[in-house]
Amino acid sequence: MKAGKKPPPALLDNKLLAALPAEAQQHLFPHMKPVDFPLGKVLYESGDALNCVYFPTDSIVSLLYVMESGASAEISVVGNEGLIGISVFMGGESTTSRAIVQSAGSAFSLPSQRLRNEFNGFSEMRMLMLRYTQALITQMAQTAVCNRHHSIDQQLCRWLLLSLDRLDGTNLIMTQELIANMLGVRREGVTEAAGKLQQLGVIEYQRGRIQVINRHRLEELCCECYAVVKKETDRLQAFPVAA
Amino acid sequence: MKAGKKPPPALLDNKLLAALPAEAQQHLFPHMKPVDFPLGKVLYESGDALNCVYFPTDSIVSLLYVMESGASAEISVVGNEGLIGISVFMGGESTTSRAIVQSAGSAFSLPSQRLRNEFNGFSEMRMLMLRYTQALITQMAQTAVCNRHHSIDQQLCRWLLLSLDRLDGTNLIMTQELIANMLGVRREGVTEAAGKLQQLGVIEYQRGRIQVINRHRLEELCCECYAVVKKETDRLQAFPVAA
DNA sequence: GACGCTATGTGTGCTAGCTTACAGACAGAG
DNA sequence: CTCTGTCTGTAAGCTAGCACACATAGCGTC
């Protein structure tokens, strides 16, 4: 199934890095190191101070809150449009969530101090990072709304679309169990919802591999939450850098 | 019931303003104007670009997402610990939520451009604003978790505690209908939950006025969400400014 | 001091999602 | 090719919260 050898990940595969002004790229790129993220790897736990931040290229990372009971809920998801570790420049050093790899792949790491320096010194860099952070905030807000008002079916659609947007193809390597953890629902609930989608011919899946057949239909079945986040994220990325 | 005349609101009643370095205070305070927020006033709608930001003193403002169907859900709440309008310095200019006054009172307004200048020019000011923003993010994340996993009873407790922390006394002027809107649940659900709390002697209420009798018990009945947000907010406020 | 508005109480179904339990089915290892 | 662990399917019973409907009760007003 693997299409030969993957091309090595490039720094510019990350949209945030690609959008940086040339000067910032020159400052930062020499300090970036490629890293591999296996599925399930925990990048940091709640309360951990961060030594470095990560810019995903073809990996996806979930920010998850884990309750005392062990139950969990996804707060937001980060792919090649962003970075892991906003608390480094937001000033808190740590957050209350866990960062866990949801889809294996690559990323680039950068020591926190390098990012902080650049962030404080250069306003263009800062604006990019903060606008990305606002997009992340929008995603969190919509997650709260979706958790309150929408069915598992709808939420599964949202989740699949968010993941698809951060990957190349139409294949997701992901068990229903893991999706259930992310959504904070039972595994059986996901089985049921996924079964419906398969019957409708929207997706096909076998043992931990989900293929999206009809993305358009998926968007129709989804609640408004996906579109709201997508639209706002696009808007925030589209701003001219030299505002 | 009103204890004579209220003292006029002071700039330093807002903790964020009070924490500003003296220089920033000198720059900004001359441009601040006191404003009155009546209950229910909409400060901005989803997508509105903001002319000014607001620093509440004794008012409380909810950030609410309103769905196409008209149903709503509170994303977070802002009182004298913060400001309304983070998108002004986060770079997006607008957000997808509505800001609506949840508890009448006062605030100070500041033209957006003044804030932006100060934010971009002075790193101490920036750090304060960004750390507050991170606290806001934490609150949103926990709202998402709470919406997913906790009962109306628990959420009501969380909501009451969040409101209490932003007010002087133990009285809330607030109907069950409005609470239901904030939590994104039915009014009857709130009636039931509030009835239980009253029977337990934790609160007393009559027609739009809620009095908290036993705050300690309220915290016990609450889910962990309140404590998580409270602790993280305190941590983020406690940082030395000149980090 | 009767009227009417708004806030609150209650009650009867209904449904989504939960808990628990177990059965089938695919895939890699030996 | 069988074994075993991991995924996925299904089912019975339960509960929280829903939608809808209507009853009561403060409180200001005229």
pLDDT in tens, chain A (243 residues): 434 456 788 999 999 999 999 999 999 999 999 999 999 999 999 999 999 999 999 999 999 999 999 999 999 999 999 999 999 999 999 999 999 999 999 999 999 999 999 999 999 999 999 999 999 999 999 999 999 999 999 999 999 999 999 998 899 999 999 999 999 999 999 999 999 999 999 999 989 999 999 999 999 999 999 999 999 999 999 866 554
CA of A198 to C1' of D14 (A): 29
Calpha distance B78→A241 (Å, rounded): 30
Calpha distance B164→B170 (Å, rounded): 7
Q: What number of other Cβ atoms are within 10 A of residue A38's Cβ?
A: 9
Task: Nearest chain B residue to A70 by CA: give it.
Answer: B149
The protein footprint on chain C, as nucleotides within 7 A of a CB, is 6-11, 16-21, 26-27
Calpha distance A59→A73 (Å, rounded): 20
Instruction: Quickly state the pLDDT bin for B243 (edges 50, 70, 90).
Output: very low
Calpha distance A234→A17 (Å, rounded): 16
**Hey, are the CB atoms on A95 and B138 less than 8 Å from each other?**
yes
Point out the residue nearest to C9 (C-alpha to C1'): B191
What's the token pair of residue B52? Answer: 């000014």
| Nearest nt to the B178 alpha carbon by C1' | C7
Q: What mean pLDDT, rounded, does chain B reach?
A: 94
Q: Is nucleic acid strand D under 7 Å from B149's C-beta?
A: no
**Res B232 pLDDT > 80:** yes
Report B:164-193 residues touching A (Cβ under 8 A).
184
Q: How many Å lie between the alpha carbon of B220 and the closest alpha carbon of chain A?
A: 15
- Among A102, A221, A78, CA closest to A150: A221
Phi, psi (deg, nearest 5) at residue A210: -115, 130
Task: Nearest chain B residue to A95 by CA: give it.
Answer: B138
Which chain B residues are within 8 Å of A141, Cβ to Cβ? 63, 65, 75-76, 96-97, 140
Q: How many Å lie between the alpha carbon of B100 and the closest alpha carbon of chain A?
A: 16
Calpha distance B65→B81 (Å, rounded): 21
Q: Which helix or strand (DSSP H or E) is residue A110 part of?
A: strand A105-111
**Res B2 pLDDT > 50:** no
**Hey, are the CB atoms on B92 and A134 less than 8 Å from each other?**
yes
The closest CB to that of B144, out of A87, A91, A147, belongs to A147
